[in-house]
Structure 1
Amino acid sequence: METAIRSAACSLICCLTAAAMFFLASSPAMAQNPDEGGLFPKEEIFKPILADPKEPRFFGSVRHINNEMRKDFTGAAIGLGETFGVYRKNLGPERAWQISISGGVFSHFDMDTSSYDLLNSDYSIGLLWTYRDRDASLRLRVYHQSSHLGDDYVSDDPGLLDKYSGFDYEAAELITAYDWEPFRVYGGIHYLLQRDPGHMDRWSYQAGVEYESPSPVLFHGVPVAGVDIKGVQERSWTPAVSVKAGLKFKTADSSRDIMVLAEYYDGFIPYGAFYDYDMDAFGLGVYFGF
């Protein structure tokens, strides 16, 4: 019964996404009027969270990791994901709402093994409604995530399948943010609608602060930094801290950017079914924005 409910919830997210795109594309009111909004806006009105390790984006990073499962090792993280704006409605000067879809995969590798073993991959897909009123913004997201262990990892320790097979959930997230240039602060809550294993507690919180310099420095790069804090009910609300800082490279006439970021993380493992274990990590990553 639980599996059927989870499958139905995931299917509902996909159907809502497809239905929204069909309705918006077929409606005669969706004529492209830049003053009123329209299909496929170029930018998101709720900016991606810089230091969130599970924000859908394209990136690659190398990290020294120390966790309670594998001790010290060199790891690599690869992310392939993006948020795609479907429709925006402008309500007035600096006021708008937007419907978007997001999806991504987050994969992690052990670089100390001869074949760079894949440890785990998390897959997510979601539907977003975002809103902005001048400096205040909001993101409501309903999404599905499933996690899968790497074959080489399992072959080295077959007992992992008994303990960690079948980890997925559907969740709702509400995050509000306020731009106080050059800073942004944000905070919100997450709630697990359905989850496997079913004994997991449902609630978690997220908060953070970001900085983006108004002036470029080295090689025209703009200094950026972010601190993201998460706590889950399952782990007695103990905060996990993610810090990223570096340079953003972007031209004035493009919405695309590249960021080179130093990274630090300390807290519960945010990937796969390993949230019962703690880790700390530091490294360097390259992030691509579209």
Structure 2
Amino acid sequence: MVTNRKFASVMACSLCCFSLCSAKEESRELTDASHVFFMSRAESIPDSQMEDNSDHYLEGYIQALIDMHYFEHHVVVIVEGDVVYLYNLPNNALISNSIISFVQDLPCVCEVKIKCDLNEEECERRRGYVMQPCISGVWFPQSTILFQPLIADPRQVKYSVAYRAGDRVIGEKAICIALGDNFPVYRWTNIFYWCGDLQIGIDAGIWAPFNFDDVSHNDKTYCELVNTDYLLGIPLDYAFDQWAFRMRLYHISSHLGDEFLVNRPEFLDLRANPSFEALEFFASYQVTRSLRFYAGPGFILHSDQSFPMDLYYVEYGAEWRFLSSRFCYQRLYGTFFLALDVQNWQVRDWDFDWTIMGGYEISKLAGIGRKIRLFASYHHGFSYEGQFFLERTHYGEFGVYWGF
């Protein structure tokens, strides 16, 4: 028994000594860790290693990154020294600028040049190690949409939650929630005379305001769902150079909230169903990377008899992004924005209805893709909540908005 205890003690002492020696050795290795590097971006290679690689290696590396983020645009990369040549950029200024910015941010890229087509010598040189797939379209393109959203439009399909104050129609204090997305289904590339892209998709959205002010609490709740709007649309987008166009056929319907009706039973006899189908056509022009204008008419094809709508409306506005920055460690782009949306509806006697919104947006890709926005806005004109569509109001909001 004593022998076993002595043996165990000797083994324990040996293990402790071995651990201490190993720890000292590891400490010396970590102290001399000048060769260890930390990548500030997950898609980056350290400059010291990139400088030692061949043009073909860097070419394949950059091509893989572009294909990962912008596959549907079929961009071709050629590297000669420190210069990166980009071929076959999409005929869309917003997306092309995003691709150029993406490549310029990569380490060991001193210059980016744009070329239209590969010559025979360049095609032959690439044939041995890369072949670009020849496809005329892409199913479910997800990097971006061709017609960028109208971010100040009160009925833009999006995800958002906002606190609303001062609305005399819905309530002086309200929480407004929107759930919706644009799902691109198929994109045709390099078509028509302008060699642009054509895309068809699906729009679907829900808007629901909850009133926290002047609630009668008949159903023992502290808030009430006032109204819910539902939208389903089929957008057809076309974009080339600095232009983007959208033709959308959509249906929208509205329903008073059950809690609102419980607390205000007098609205049971006043309830209407303001649903309609409409066709709209919008054009957008990207003046610079920062400034955009858009405008377009809409046509009411059919409306419910309980809430008849006149035939026409127009919508127009502008968006300005400024003080843009790049967060290299987080691999994000950020920019301040200011947006104005104006609408005139025939059913409202063509009176002005406008919304101004400002805030800060963050995205993974420069200028395109999905974003998250922190915003504050002011609306003056009419309500957009169902059968209160003809009621005048004004209010302020602040909240979070995410989507395209």
Q: TM-score, normalised by structure 1?
A: 0.82
Q: Which has the higher strand share?
A: 1
Please tell me whether the aligned partners of residues 307 and 387 of structure 2 are also in contact (alpha carbons under 8 angstroms).
no
Q: Which has the higher helix share?
A: 2
Report matched runs for 1:82-121 at 5 Å. 82-91=181-190, 95-112=196-213, 113=215, 114-121=221-228
Quote the offset at 1:35 in angstroms: 5.5
1:26 paired residue number: none
Provide Cα deviations, 1:256-286, integer angstroms capped at 9, x if missing partner: 3210001110001112111221111112110
CA distance, structure 2, for counterparts of residue 273 and residue 124 of structure 1: 15
Which has the higher Rg, Structure 1 or Structure 2? 2
Report matched runs for 1:84-233 at 5 Å. 84-91=183-190, 95-112=196-213, 113=215, 114-181=221-288, 182-196=290-304, 197=306, 199-213=308-322, 215-216=324-325, 221-233=334-346
Provide Cα deviations, 1:160-219, integer angstroms capped at 9, x if missing partner: 232233221111111111001211101111111110136321211100000122623999
CA-atom RMSD in angstroms: 2.3
Unaligned 5+ residue runs, structure 2? 1-131, 216-220
Quote the offset at 1:116 in angstroms: 1.6
2:176 paired residue number: 77
Quote the offset at 1:97 in angstroms: 0.7
Please tell me whether the aligned partners of residues 94 and 134 of structure 1 are also in contact (alpha carbons under 8 angstroms).
no
Please tell me whether the aligned partners of residues 94 and 132 of structure 1 are also in contact (alpha carbons under 8 angstroms).
no
Query: Are the structure 2 counterparts of residues 177 and 166 from structure 1 closer, same or farther at C-alpha, using a change threshold of 3 Å?
Result: same
Provide Cα deviations, 1:122-167, integer angstroms capped at 9, x if missing partner: 0010111110111111110001111011111111222223223322
1:36 paired residue number: 136
1:63 aligns with 2:153: no
Please tell me whether the aligned partners of residues 317 and 341 of structure 2 are also in contact (alpha carbons under 8 angstroms).
yes
Unaligned 5+ residue runs, structure 1? 1-31
Please tell me whether the aligned partners of residues 217 and 223 of structure 1 are also in contact (alpha carbons under 8 angstroms).
no
Say how many residue pairs are matched: 257
Partner SS, residue 201 of structure 1: coil
Please tell me whether the aligned partners of residues 274 and 307 of structure 2 are also in contact (alpha carbons under 8 angstroms).
no
Whose relative contact order is higher, 1 or 2, with alpha carbons under 8 Å and at least 6 apart?
1
Q: TM-score, normalised by structure 2?
A: 0.60
CA distance, structure 1, for counterparts of residue 379 and residue 247 of structure 2: 25
Provide Cα deviations, 1:37-75, integer angstroms capped at 9, x if missing partner: 2110112100011100101110000010232x46x6111
